Chain A
């Protein structure tokens, strides 16, 4: 329990800042919604004047921005990038930071196993991500109720579920990257690199039919928000991919951490 609580305490401030920024970003973008809902025809005519590929790239092609959830789904794609960044950075630092900061000599001198360290930190990471998610869920419902009426809570909750899956995916990716033998300082850039690479691959997959396969390597597109809002469902194949990747990365991280030479 000690390490779990300590880890949460240490990350709380950072999490609070991320939460405020993400909720703020969301609130700010939703604040523009009333303008769109009042002039739907003008907006839709404007959209039709853009080439289809461009609309596909931004995920707007089938959107009707006069509906609150459609609009939110569009904005949600960008929220997902921010949340993905927070998750991958958290995953890549939560274990490796002890070595980078030099606190590992303090920690590993305690009567604990490496497995205990890993488990405590993973549970702390999970808790932190769930907290961010819950804050966003509450805040988004609040914002939606301000800018529109008759909010479909179920769909919003579904979107937040997809957010959780994206968080888990990127957290695990960050975690396994940090288990590779290299200097901790590079993890941040590698992690963010992975995030943005997958984002761009995702865009390419929606633009072109032939590149559709790229969707498999872009977690941000697994549960495409506009699609989720329309269909109200998540595609099972991607749920499987997430499960397999998360379980595999976590198991791999345990194994690697147990064998690792802790650098002091």
Chain B
């Protein structure tokens, strides 16, 4: 049974599209990533799942149960939610907030709170509103973990954290993963996705356009090629099937190439290049390919001839 499941989930704010039709299926014990451009519908999906907003259509289930107010109130005992930006009550100290939070889950989570606050080097005696944004993020992280939830839903989780804390946070998430927890992780930052996620859903314009496994994405389908032609030569017209995202910059041309090596060498020879580089692409460049609208893929190079 999938831990999170949505079918044709739809949310319109009046006439404005939040999400059009989102289909997700996240299995227990997975680390599942969720990525997409601004306005694609990532936050809308998460908020609909957790009951902050009502779906206009489709259905959503967590641990097999429909996401109604009543069901969610019970399910939330086992869910830890890390919001992108959380506000906190004025005047409260970190410790007060964490203890207050723990009360909602019944058990006194003192030992776990202590362990987590020490792990993240968080001073619990300070008022929350006096903390830097990074430290406030730590408070959010601790409060979403202190009741040892089975499912973690993280929205832009590392915003504001310094690299050391980020690394610590990821180490902790991997530990949780080893203990069998499910992690649903929405982010813009591809390197994070790369480090943690096993599968990634790419959302654009309110629809999931692809669900890929991280292994297959890293699987060097594309090579990044950069080429320098001789000074004074006519602008380059690249005739190469399997080349995409061609970017000419004066004498430099770069493109992504997924075809055969022999064809590439032949074309480089024909172009009479002075220099060339072949690299594995950034995951970022692979994703940009998904982000871009349909039809822009095989744009011809502006040619001078």
Contact = CB atoms under 8 A, between A and B. Distances in A.
Nearest to B155: A105
B100 A103 contact: no
B158 interface: no
A261 B53 contact: yes
Interface string B44-87: 00010011111000000000000001100111110101010111
A112 interface: yes
Interface in A1-42: 2, 6, 10
A111 B106 CA distance: 10
B50 A109 contact: yes
A109 B69 contact: no
Given A112-B73, A264-B47, 6 more contacts: A106-B83, A108-B50, A108-B52, A110-B101, A261-B52, A261-B53
A115 B266 CA distance: 71
Closest CB pairs A-B (n = 6): A102-B87, A111-B76, A109-B81, A105-B83, A261-B53, A110-B104
Contacts, number: 69
Where chain A touches its partner, the secondary structure class is: helix
B89 A261 contact: no
A116 interface: yes
Interface footprint category on B: 20 to 34
Contacts of B90: 101
Given A103-B88, A261-B53, A261-B54, A113 B70 contact: yes
Contacts of B79: 109
Given A111-B73, A111-B77, A111-B105, A106 B52 contact: no
Interface in A204-230: none
A102 B86 CA distance: 6
Contact of B74 (A2, A106, A111, A116): A111
Nearest to B43: A264
Interface string B83-112: 101111110000000001101110000000
Contacts of A109: 50, 76, 79, 81, 83, 144
A114 B53 CA distance: 12
A262 B29 CA distance: 30
A258 interface: yes
A236 B75 CA distance: 48
A213 B104 CA distance: 50
Given A2-B103, A262-B52, A113 B89 contact: no
Interface of A: 2, 6, 10, 101-106, 108-116, 258-259, 261-262, 264
A115 B79 CA distance: 20
A111 B76 CA distance: 5
Contacts of A111: 73-77, 104-105
A112 B103 CA distance: 12
Contacts of B50: 108-109
B252 to A, nearest CB: 45
Contacts of B89: 6, 10, 101, 103
A10 B88 CA distance: 12
Interface string B2-35: 0000000000010000000000000000000000
B182 interface: no
A113 B90 CA distance: 24
A113 B74 CA distance: 9
Nearest to A259: B54
Nearest to A6: B100
8 contacts: A6-B89, A103-B87, A103-B88, A106-B87, A108-B52, A259-B54, A262-B52, A264-B47
Most buried by A among B53, B87, B88, B144: B87
Contacts of A115: 69
Contacts of B54: 259, 261
B187 interface: no
B254 interface: no
